[in-house]
Structure 1
Amino acid sequence: MSKRLVTVIGVSLIAIFTLVYFLSPSSSPFDDKEVFSEESLAEETLDDTPLFKFGIPVDLFELKEGRIKRNQTFADILLPYNVSRQDIFNMDKISRDVFSVRSLVVNKKYTIFYNSDSTKKASYFVYEPNDLEYVVYQLVDSLGVFRESRDVEIVERTMAGVISETLDHSIRAEGGSPALVNAMADIFGWQIDPKTLRKGDWFKIIYEDRLVEGKSVGIGKIISAQFNHIKNDYMAYGYDMGDGHEYFDESGESVQKAFLRYPVAFTRISSQYNPNRYLKMYGRYKPHLGTDFAASKNTPIKAAADGVIVARGFTRPNGNYIKIKHNGTYTTGYLHMNRFGKFKLGQRVKKGQTIGYVGSTGSSTGNHLCFRFWKRGKQVDFLKEKLPAEKPLPAGELVRFDALMSLMDKRLEDIPNTWSDKSVSASNE
């Protein structure tokens, strides 16, 4: 082989190896893994992104978190942070249309954003009246008050359980909320008396859980539910025709009455309707024309049905009371309230809306709701009254409802049974 040929081959091989080396991903000077790695990009992004809380940049302030103490005022909290009395006075006036600084409730959370320099002056005070909202009181530049709502995530969940003691026990033992217990009682209350539940009765529920920052803040709608009571199935399918979520059975009939079964979440019926009640302490007969539901102070009281508030006030025997006229036949009364809800005299309310809170005002020996029920102007026993049902589904909705019912039946069937060990299970859907 000639020297010239050897030289050409050698140069060619060197050129090939050099080209392969520089084009190789592992040796390229522009290696993505080294220069543009996800880790390095993430670090740069995090470094450049300010952190916010309640929409306020955290890195500009020092934060002080706390809870409202008994008898503590807005001024008590902010005077140590060099907010002037004049600004506190002005904030008292301008906050009334949004959320008054006089409405702070004991044990509710607050956060103060203040300067880290020697002045230690508060720039923002944030109050959290509940899990869904917060109120920002701006104390820097111009004064202002802003009420904001947190983002709520809706997650569908399922639950199945068997009755060993009560419905309340079965749901709450596995982390279910009192609101879920009450919702189930409201739906099935006209078909199943909670006092007649037996061991071995079982239920399945598909429902909405409402989350704020991953924490449950209450339930939304019950989507569908099944209750097996003494070997009989009772079904409830949630359906919306445009006027709100209602519940129907497999025949398209409403499972609920036009009136709530119970206008308050109660522990027991402490006194029933009795027109011939004898009061031994007074030595005479005095009729009791209502039903007394024993409940904790400030338990919400709900309107039993749609109607108009025709009386709202205070009398010595009744305490704080409200009377609602529902139609030409039915009127209801709610006595001994600790305080009223937001509805005023003459306003229309819908079934289930909170009209007040349980108390012991007037002639009362303990916290309870005395619930009165009039039919054509005469007081009757609400618990024994046969009440009108809500309207069934119209014929035009049945095809769509049947399709929904088939889907819900399949989903309810897929919820695992745990009857053999009589336990309750809950899971994400």
Structure 2
Amino acid sequence: MQTHITTTPFGRRPMTLAMMASQAVANAMPEGARVQKWHVFKSIREAKDLIGATDRSLAILNALLSFHRDMELSAEGELVVWPSNEQLMARANGMPPTTLRRHLTILVDCGLIIRRDSPNGKRFARKGRGGQIEQAYGFDLSPIVARAEEFAELAETVQVEKRAYKAARERLTLLRRDIVKMIDAGIEEGVPGNWGKMTWTYQGIIGRLPRTAPRQLLDDICEDLELLWIEIRDALESFTKTQNPDANESHSGRHIQNSNPNSISESENSLGNEKEAGGSAAQIDNLHSLPKRELPLGIVLDACASWRELAKDAEIHNWRDFLAAAEVARLMLGVSPSAWREACEVLGERQAAITLAAIHQRADEINNAGGYLRSLTDRAREGKFSAWPMVMALLRAKLDAEKTAAQARGGPPDDADKRKGRLEVSEALLRSLRRPKS
């Protein structure tokens, strides 16, 4: 039996109230308490951040537990181990002495072990004639037995938090995937809706996401994304309900595209003998000769070069990026939300954005962009407007300016523009705008 239990550390190490608290917890250990030491160590390892332990301090604790011969730690048994620093360093994979002393202090401060220092600071055990230990000086492991239930609860808390964090990450990934693909589907299928604003809202929400985010922030971002997801889903579902109720997934994508009430083909078919805003008289008379397909993104960007400046990082890779820039352009041009909403309803989101891009390209020539957009929307409602001639007119003006500049230099146009990936427009397409009606 031990003749005395020391309560103060050896040498210059001070006594603290935290040490007294740890010793009080150890002394209050229930009688007959018994735990599996490696099960408790696993709980401590799981909850190390909550406890305040470090990876290296746990390596030392692992070594200390290995010096206790039994698999169980019990209140009735001997709970003091007395390895030397050399033995500890060897079992802690060659840890340096200074690091060993620092992390032993961390274990004491965390209340995982208690120092039982001898009068001269040495660690040893004195045995009686029968071989039983009468007095031991070293590290007391009794806090591990006394706090075993607390460590298990902390480990469970950490596991719950990890599961919640994983669920939040999965929810975030699914919402991001759904929103991006639903917006793309809405744009490609010509579903009426303010897709540019939705894309801009999505980018704003995702912009708040740091590289490493706590779960609370992930939950907040997911809540905002879910509201946007509901808005996009409702727009797609309401459009789907207006279609043929017999339509199903076995129908081809061509059928879905032809069901679009705002498709460019239908609007062009109705423009045969009507006037069009934004083009020359020859172009107005020959709208029927335009190709019956939607404007390629590359041609629109070539005609409206200033549109790239409105996009994030000045890069537009797809129609989703193009529509996201529309919200910025609307604010810059002073177009009211009602005028923009009306244009999207009549023209469709993509055609409205192309029209706005053309207006932005000619911003120096237009005094009231909002009024001009309303005028074009009214013409489109009557079947008298298409974005094709506007874009072709901008391309014609750009090519003419390049030709004039080349003639002024006395040589062919500079090939530098071609190296930038700029699209070429065929002369046949440009001549089609001037061809008289048949």
Q: Give the TM-score, by structure 1 length.
A: 0.23
| Greater Rg over alpha carbons, structure | 2
Give 1 or 2: higher helix fraction.
2
Higher relative contact order (CA 8 A, sep 6+): 2
